């Protein structure tokens, strides 16, 4: 029973990270073309996108290495559709 609670929390955490990355991808896609190295806002968006991708990689590695979660729970958590950033 405790595993399903942990699984739900981990799934929600991963979904929140992925939702933010998707929102950020949309914001980047709608952003006017930047002037190279001059658009601070656009550069910040790119940095945040890279940070979110790295965070998702670390989170997925954490879930995969868990000794508390079952194989099935790990698969369920990691099964959320990955968002491809533009």
Is the pLDDT score of 60 beyond 90? yes
- At 43, the pLDDT band (50, 70, 90 cuts) reads confident
Cα–Cα distance measured from residue 64 to residue 8, given in angstroms and rounded to the nearest whole number: 15
The residue among 80 and 6 whose pLDDT is bigger is 6
- Report pLDDT for 34: 65
Name which residue leads in pLDDT, 59 or 31. 59
Residues 82 and 86: their CA atoms lie apart, in Å, by 13
For residue 1, name the pLDDT band (cuts at 50, 70, 90).
Answer: very low
Q: Model-level pTM? A: 0.71
Spatial separation of the C-alpha atoms in residues 82 and 52, rounded to whole Å? 12
Distance of CA 56 to the CA centre of its chain: 4
**For the chain, which residues make up each domain, given as ranges?**
2-78
């Amino acid at each position: 029973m405790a595993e399903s609670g942990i699984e739900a929390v981990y799934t929600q955490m991963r979904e929140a990270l992925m939702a933010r990355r998707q929102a950020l991808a949309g914001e980047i896609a709608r952003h006017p073309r930047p002037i190279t190295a001059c658009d601070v806002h656009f550069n910040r968006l790119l940095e945040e996108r890279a940070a979110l991708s790295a965070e998702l990689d670390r989170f997925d590695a954490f879930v995969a290495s868990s000794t508390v979660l079952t194989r099935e729970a790990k698969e369920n958590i990691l099964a959320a559709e990955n968002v491809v950033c533009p």
